[in-house]
Amino acid sequence: MADSVQRKPRARRAAEDSSPRSGERESMRDLVSQLKRDRIVSAAVDLFYRQGYAGTTLDEVAKALGMTKPFIYQYFGSKNDLLAEICSRAIRHANDALNRLLSQQGSPGDKLSAIVREFILSVLNNQANAVIYSREETELAPKDREMIRQLRRDFDRRVVALLEEGIARGEFAIADVRVASFAIASMVGWAPVWFRAGGRLTKEEAADRMAALALSMVAVKRTATEGPRA
Amino acid sequence: MADSVQRKPRARRAAEDSSPRSGERESMRDLVSQLKRDRIVSAAVDLFYRQGYAGTTLDEVAKALGMTKPFIYQYFGSKNDLLAEICSRAIRHANDALNRLLSQQGSPGDKLSAIVREFILSVLNNQANAVIYSREETELAPKDREMIRQLRRDFDRRVVALLEEGIARGEFAIADVRVASFAIASMVGWAPVWFRAGGRLTKEEAADRMAALALSMVAVKRTATEGPRA
DNA sequence: CATTTTGAATACTGACTAGTAGATTTATCA
DNA sequence: TGATAAATCTACTAGTCAGTATTCAAAATG
């Protein structure tokens, strides 16, 4: 994960300080590089999403950018590197979302709603990335694959912890916490399958409603035989 | 969909009744054909599941069978036909499950549990098929793709109808029925992602617990202010 | 046992595409 | 402006793989 800026295009960095403004120049070059990398990634995401990784040639990606194939090779070592970059971006997005949420506070119920809501939003806002990495998992190098597994494990673990906290506080009633965490992950992971932009619901509405459903799945149900609680 | 027996290997069916037992002979031949087709499909499912469709060559499939590529072409017109057959089998399985369930009766809650339970079982029992068809959707010919979409729509529609019935009867309380149906479909569709054979749970246990969760997601929560119902 | 039919294998083609070497253009800077 | 370096392109190679024409083998048939 780390930095991922990886500015490849600098085989020989001649006289580093040949002019007073070489620092600015350097950073300008890096910015331009980064911009180009971004454009490549974005075109690739679009095509991989629609046609699949194997079904897309680098010539097509280059054409979509109005460039030619060697242009891509200036910035990525191989087609697989490009895929790995896409997947690692998707993971970074997801991790960001998760970290943002962990710093929040509130009741387990509030936290769960927020996590489901935000995660679904993150997945929908990076729909193509998310779909690509779940679809092309087999194409990835083992190392990158492991990153994805790790992220899923993280998510499940944190949800499990949250569910247990909720149970301890009497807010949740759940027979099998791990299965419940999988059910919740399912709602998040499956969202791109059914959500259609421009449909009946906005992303925010969809996320809100799913979050409400997730909550009602685990929230304690007070039966009529019990008195009111708290 | 239809029959799908499609016995290709019979370009010229010479003197149909050349012997008194030609009927038996014919059916024997068909059985043998069918058996071989099944073996091919099964080897392909295994490899496509592990390596992806594009990442698997027909030579590999043939090798797994101890045969060579032209053997496959005797029974399937193209690699894509083979994929389509796999997907259509997955769909048939799913449709069978759905139809079996529709003939059952009981309260909406019972029906919903049964549907979720059986569908998850069906998906898990044909895990490779299910994964392949959801992963390789982009590789399919439009016609086959449409079949899959249709199946999903069917599933959603029937679940929606069931949820509405439940609401009418006062058993369910759901803010947005369509989103709820998507949530339920998510649990079914995502099951192969997390379920590991030989893990903590059997398929049946996993299916049971998911079904219980789905039910608790939509079941009416009697607040303490209401009296017991019915 | 000769003959036809069917099933499968060998050995090929043709298309495609990831990746690259070298030419060429464009930017940089003295 | 002329020299140098970077960015991009043209044109190619090498390998892969779906699909096939042809040959060989083995049943079935009479």
* B163 in the same domain as B101: yes
Helix (H, G, I), strand (E, B) or coil at A223: coil
**Domains in chain A: how many in total?**
2
Confidence of residue B164 (pLDDT cuts 50, 70, 90): very high
B131-158 tens-digit pLDDT: 998 888 888 877 778 877 887 888 889 8
Write phi, then psi, for A171 (nearest 5 degrees).
-90, -30
Confidence of residue B230 (pLDDT cuts 50, 70, 90): very low
pTM here is 0.82
CB B19: neighbour CB atoms within 10 A? 9
* B168 in the same domain as B106: yes
Helix (H, G, I), strand (E, B) or coil at A140: coil
Q: Which of A180, A206, A225 sits opposite B213 (nearest CB)?
A: A180
Radius of gyration of chain B from its Cα atoms, rounded to whole angstroms = 22
CB B126: neighbour CB atoms within 10 A? 21
A211-215, B90-94, B118-122, B179-183, range with the lowest pLDDT: B90-94
Residue A9: per-residue pLDDT: 39
Q: Note whether residue B17 is domain-resident.
A: no
Confidence of residue B222 (pLDDT cuts 50, 70, 90): low
d(CA A155, CA A151): 6
Rounded percentage of chain A residues whose pLDDT exceeds 70: 84
Residue A27: per-residue pLDDT: 67
* B109 in the same domain as B48: no
d(CA B107, CA A21): 77
Q: Note whether residue B229 is domain-resident.
A: no
Q: Which of B131, B186, B196, B223 to mutate to test the interface with A (most CBs of A within 10 A)?
A: B186
Contact between B186 and A175 using a beta-carbon 8 Å cutoff: no
H or E stretch including B161? helix B142-168
Q: What is the mean pLDDT of residues A160-169?
A: 95
Question: What is the residue range of A43's domain?
Answer: 22-77
* B109 in the same domain as B66: no
B-chain residue closest to A153, CA distance? B194
A13 CB below 7 A from strand D atoms: yes
* B73 in the same domain as B153: no
How large is the greatest C-alpha to C-alpha distance in chain A, in angstroms?
A: 83
Residue B81: per-residue pLDDT: 92
B10-36 tens-digit pLDDT: 333 333 333 334 445 456 767 888 999
Q: Which two tokens stand for residue B120?
A: 């998850």
Q: Is B78 on the interface with A (CB under 8 A)?
A: no
Domain with B120 in it: what CATH number? 1.10.357.10
d(CA A218, CA A184): 10
* B54 in the same domain as B157: no
A134-156 tens-digit pLDDT: 888 888 877 778 877 887 888 88
C-alpha distances (whole Å) from A181 to each of A7, A186, A187, A217, B173 are: 39, 9, 10, 11, 22
Q: Is B28 on the interface with A (CB under 8 A)?
A: no
Residue A3: per-residue pLDDT: 33
Q: Which two tokens stand for residue A92?
A: 């970074």
CB pairs under 8 A between A and B: 114
CB B51: neighbour CB atoms within 10 A? 14
Domain with B61 in it: what CATH number? 1.10.10.60
Q: Note whether residue B133 is domain-resident.
A: yes
* A108 in the same domain as A153: yes
Contacts of A221 (CB under 8 A, 6+ apart): A173, B216, B219, B221, B222
Comparing B42 with B29, the larger pLDDT belongs to: B42
